[in-house]
Amino acid sequence: MGKKYVKIISWNVNGLRAVLKKAFHGTVETLDPDILLLQETKLQAHQRTKEMQPFMDYHDYWAYSTVKKGYSGVAAYTRPLPESVKTGMGIPRYDTEGRILELDYEDFILFNVYFPNGQMSDERLQYKMDFYADFFAHAQSLRDSGKSLIITGDFNIAHNEIDLKNPGPNSKRSGFLPSERKLIDDIIAHGYVDTFRFLHPDAVEYSWWSYRFNARKNNAGWRIDYFFVTQDIIDKGWLKTAFIGGDVLGSDHCPVGITLEM
C-alpha cells in the first residue's frame, strides 16, 4: 500500500468576504492544500455566496457565531472526506461563538480553532484562559481514547521572544502576557509539539502584522498561528515540513502549514 501525503494549511482570513476580493481562489489554487482551514470568516450561514461554495474538488464545513453578526467563525475545505465533523466542544459558553471545527479522519483528528483574543477586557482575558483550559481538557479525552491530534488555527499568543518583533513593549499586553505564554508551555509539557519551532528552532518568521504603523512592511509581526501535533505523530515520522507563507497577502495574517507523509 502506497504512502499518503497530506498538505494542511491554516489561515485567519479576517473576513472571508473581504479576502474573496483579493484573489482568494487564485491563492488557494497556488497553495494547493489537501485541507484548508480558515478562521475569522465573520459570516452567518445565510451570507454564504456562490464564491464560498465548494470549489475545485473540496468539500466544505462551517461553524458560525450565533451571538454576534460579522464575528468569529471557522471553515474547512477538504479533499479527503472526514469520517465525521463536529462543531464546538459541547459547552454553549464557547460554542455560540463559532470557534471550533473538529474533523475526524482515519489517521488523526484535526481541530480548526480560533482561540479568543483577550485584549478587550479582563473578562475576555479570563474567557480566553478558560477556553484554553476547557478545550485542552476536551482534546485530552480524545487522546486518552488513543487518537492522534492536530490542532491548528489562530492561538492569539506569541510563545517566546523569538515569536514577536518587540517582546519588551508587549510583555504587558494580552497575547504575550506571562500567564498566556505559560498556556503554551503547558501545552508542550502535555505532549504537544509546535511543528514550526520543532523543524525551525531558530527561524524568525511571523504570521500576523498589525494594520497600523506599516507593521507588515517593516516586518514588525507576531507568530500566533500554529500547528500543534501530538508527540506520537512526530514519533511515527509523519511530519515532513512546517512552513509560514509570509509572502501571501490578503489578510493581516498569512497562511501557515504542514505536510504529512503516512
d(CA 196, CA 163): 11
Helices and strands counted in the chain (H then E): 7, 14
| Residue 253 marked in a binding site | yes
Please list the active-site residues: 114, 154, 253
Distance (Å, rounded) from C-alpha 178 to C-alpha 15?
Answer: 30
Is 252 labelled a binding residue? yes
CB 5 within 8 A of CB 31: no
Instruction: Give the three-state DSSP class for 138.
Output: helix
Greatest C-alpha distance within the chain: 53
Is 15 strand, coil or helix?
Answer: coil
Compute the distance between CA of residue 61 and CA of residue 103 in angstroms, rounded to an integer. 9
Looking at the DSSP assignment, which residues form a beta bridge with residue 193?
A: 229
Please tell me the distance from the alpha carbon of residue 104 to that of residue 67, in angstroms, as a whole number: 26
Q: Contact, 47 vs 17, CB < 8 A?
A: yes
Q: Which of 152, 126, 125, 124 is nearest to 139 (CA)?
A: 152
CA 116 and chain centroid, separation = 12
- 170 labelled ligand-binding: no
- Residue 154 assigned ligand-binding role: yes
The DSSP annotation for 30-63 comes to: HH--SEEEEE-----GGG--GGGS--TT-EEEEE
Residue 166 known to bind ligand: no
255 and 248 in contact (C-beta within 8 Å)? yes
Positions at the binding site for Mg(2+): 12, 40, 154, 156, 252-253
Positions at the binding site: 12, 40, 154, 156, 252-253
